[in-house]
Amino acid sequence: MAGFENDVVYAKNADFTQSDNQAPTEANGLATNGQLWIGTTAVNAGGTHVNVGTLTSPDASITFGFSSPNITAVVAGTVTSDLHVASFIVNSDGIIGTGANYTTIAAAYAAAVLAGGKQTVFVMPGATGIYTEDITLSANVNLAAFSCDSLNLNVTIEGKLSASFAGTCSISGICLLTNGDYCLEVTGAAATTIELTNCFVYATNSAALHITSSSGASKIVLNSCRGDIGNAGIGYFVHSGAGQIRFYGGSFENNVADTTRSTCSGSGSLAFHNCFAILPFTSSGTGTVSALGCQLYAPMTIGGSGTNSITNCYCNGGVDPAIEVSNNLILANCSINSINAAAISGAGELKYGLIAFVNSSSTVTTVTQTPLATLI
């Protein structure tokens, strides 16, 4: 007799339907395809530890069968769930066998918005790595790829991401590539925050970043990102709103030596913290510019009427003045490099302290020069 705890059964073929001590109604025989004998520690109604069970799928599209000598799992149709990285997974190659359930980012993103709550759309490289799409972003619905995919442009969105919602969403591990227009734009009047982390922001045929939102709480934040300018005459950003563009860490190249100035012309702010940037820019209006711990390899014009400051930085203007002050600037603990006779120029006020000039013939020609108090 078999079927009790600690019993061992070996059989080339067996049927427990008529085993001893079995109640007549206990069906412990293998009666249909896909059934298995399954042992349990609890005694069943027939007084044994042997039960008949079947393999079941967490997804209706997966079926199990037998093809000698193996049990087989077959995926048929659309896989509607994934237990690995997200509920909304995109792969442009198609969906069979990839773990993805969408072939376009826009479709996955719309489904994530419809689902409500906090969602993440995960994007796989696909055949070319490029998704040519325009997407309207929503609060709490993030876009992500693996961080390594942004380093070699494995996952690229060639198009415009637009945002005017109240709230925050983030994008990570993705290359944002211009397609004749900005690749990221914040408009409207809401407090919109877009957080980019480990992304590559590439301006090839248009400036990359654009912010016009009238909300002072709106912002585009680039955390440990990289960027480049691919063609001359386009600049990198256009900021005419009341919000903020912040570069935190990262490296922003200018391999075509584009001299077109990016602009910050509204009441908002522009901030560079601990980053490398070759992005010439001009500020005006009532906004502010701040830079801390940066290497800035491009001429800049500081013209906003807010409180502007550059501290602990290296500024290199090349043949142009490194800094032109047309309103006001606090400049402290900095190295200034320019082959122009006037390394710092302009009609504004320069408040300065501890400046080192790499070019010994450099001068300061700002109209008003005010030394800062220094404790020695």
* Block residue for tokens 């100035």: 261
Give the integer Cα–Cα distance in Å for 174 and 123: 9
Give the integer Cα–Cα distance in Å for 298 and 144: 32
Give the integer Cα–Cα distance in Å for 27 and 66: 21
Contact predicate 96/70, CB 8 Å: no
Closest CA to 136 of 109, 158, 108: 109
Give the integer Cα–Cα distance in Å for 100 and 244: 36
Residue 197: phi, psi to the nearest 5? -130, 130
pLDDT of the residue at 152 = 82
Where along the chain do its domains lie?
1-54, 118-371
Cis amide prior to 125 (ω within 30 degrees): no
pLDDT tens per residue, range 265-310: 999 999 999 999 999 999 999 999 999 999 999 999 999 999 999 9
* Block residue for tokens 């489904």: 111
Q: 69 pLDDT band (50/70/90 cuts)?
A: low
pLDDT of the residue at 11 = 47
- Record: fold of 118-371: Pectate Lyase C-like (2.160.20)
β-pairing verdict for 62-67 and 288-292: unpaired
Contact predicate 173/199, CB 8 Å: yes
Contact predicate 253/229, CB 8 Å: yes
Mean pLDDT on 92-101: 66
**Model pTM greater than 0.75?**
yes
pLDDT tens per residue, range 225-275: 999 999 999 999 999 999 999 999 999 999 999 999 999 999 999 999 999
Closest CA to 207 of 185, 230, 237, 227: 237
Residues 6+ apart with CB under 8 A from 261: 235, 280, 281, 282, 301
330-337 long-range contacts, Cβ below 8 Å, gap at least 24? 330/372, 331/355, 332/372, 334/310, 336/362
